[in-house]
Amino acid sequence: HTTHRTISFYHILKRHIYVFFLCLQDKHYLCIMASDSPEQNLTQYFSLCNDFIHAARLRDGNVLIHCLAGMSRSVTVAVAYIMSVTPLTWREALKVVRAGRAVANPNLGFQRQLQEFETYKLVEERRRLKERYPSLALADRDLSECRVMLDSYQTMLNQRTICEGKCSMGRQCPTGNYFTILYLKRPCFISRRSF
């Protein structure tokens, strides 16, 4: 029996809190109230989320990290976790996530936070996790799986089935597979295959 754990983000809209999941009694939840805004500080939650994810994984549990669109907040938390348990940089960790979810694209504020986390806090977070969870049970497997995902990402780039997520606002993606939505504050990549 595998225990599923969820990190869920509340989405705040017009002063109302909308919850986009059904709480199940046999599941464990960590809910973070955070908006998808470049000004939102997600860094303050990285250690809490890392503990939640890592503890579940050490008990052979699966973790679902989700937000409204699965593009920015949840991706940022996943990237921070991957960085914390592997030697990968934030850009490499984002490629790992994008290999499995092509629309993964943290807003510019979250990207800046990931860069700052890497520069100023990552060494300490890695040390903290190793002290709290001394088992290296996941380390080799995590790095191996990340390498496979990085290879997969590069293959998809070469085959032009994915782009690097740097398309100009309002322009068609050079791969022809995605288009950007103008009304958002950042490019939002929508697969043409979904139409």
pLDDT in tens, 59-71: 988 898 988 888 9
Q: Where are the beta strands (DSSP E) in the chain?
A: 4-13, 16-18, 28-33, 62-66, 178-180, 189-191
- For residue 44, pLDDT over 60 is answered with yes
DSSP per-residue letters across 72-119: SHHHHHHHHHHHHHSS--HHHHHHHHHHH-TT----HHHHHHHHHIII
Name the active-site residue from 23, 31, 49, 67: 67
Mean pLDDT of the chain: 81
Alpha-carbon distance of 109 to 63, in angstroms, equals 25
13 or 68, higher pLDDT: 68
Full-model pTM: 0.80
146 is catalytic: no
Give the residue-averaged pLDDT of 123-127.
98
Q: Where does the pLDDT of residue 111 fall: very low under 50, low under 70, confident under 90, or very high at 90 and above?
A: very high
Which residue did the predictor score with more confidence, 78 or 28?
A: 78
**Domains, the chain, ordered by start:** 4-162 (3.90.190.10), 166-195 (no CATH)
Q: What is the pLDDT of residue 180?
A: 46
Using alpha carbons, list the distances in angstroms from residue 131 to 14, 51, 83, 101, 170. Answer: 42, 12, 16, 31, 46
Residue 120 exposed, middle or buried by CB count within 10 Å (0-12, 13-18, 19+):
exposed
Q: Per-residue pLDDT tens for 169-195?
A: 555 665 655 554 433 444 444 444 433
